[in-house]
Structure 1
Amino acid sequence: MVAQNASPVPDRNRRAVRPHVPIRPLWLCRVCAAPWPCQPARLLLLMEYRRDRPGLSVHLAGCLFDATADLLALNPNPGPSPAELFERFLAWTRGRPGSGALDGES
């Protein structure tokens, strides 16, 4: 028996949403090839962790740790700049002073 909302023919107007996840060890987005976390990944992460900003920071700190090891192994000289990696993985999660919003929200 087919559910009432199920359609035997796929809806061709709907696009499958592909997650913006990193390709390791390059740490580029699997969908758009931008440095991960790309803008779509940031927005998805903000939605996923909307009620847990500390959890978002902990998750991304772990990603930063892993990315640092991966990127240094790929290209040790010169290695990735710690400041650039911090900006890429963590700085955007800080709230803007007085706005109550995260940097990824606009």
Structure 2
Amino acid sequence: MTARPRPHLPMRPVWLCRNCAAPWPCSPAQLDLIAEFYGHSIALAFYLAASMHEAIDDVYGLGLRPSSPAMHARFLGRLSLARWPRRSPRL
């Protein structure tokens, strides 16, 4: 029997990956999210933006001051990977 791979989910309130301990969303989590939200890039953007706001709230709750540009790059910086070209109109 093959072991199922552990999902790359966030560990709150520090927002590190439970699997690889990288800042979440880590590269495997980003790829998983892109696959999960395939064809729904706007929904993915909303999910990641909501996650970013939750992470910012959690960082403030820890008594730290998050860097807004760093958080934006971390959560929303790879959204261009989730964009797919539109189908060309049929003639």
- TM above 0.5, yes or no, is yes
> More helix per residue: 1 or 2?
2
Flag the structure with more relative contact order, 1 or 2, with Cα contacts below 8 A and sequence separation at least 6: 2
The runs of at least 4 consecutive aligned structure 1 residues that moved more than 3 Å come to none
TM-score normalised according to structure 1 size: 0.73
Identity rate of aligned residues, in percent? 40
How many residues end up aligned between the 2 structures? 84
Q: Which runs of 5+ in 1 are unaligned?
A: 1-10, 101-106
1:62 counterpart SS class = helix
Aligned-CA RMSD value: 1.7
Letter in 2 for 1:84: A
CA deviation map 1:13-48 (0-9, x unaligned)? x22121100000010000000000001100000000
Instruction: Show the 5 A alignment for 1:1-106.
Output: 11=1, 14-76=2-64, 79-95=65-81, 100=85
TM-score normalised according to structure 2 size: 0.85
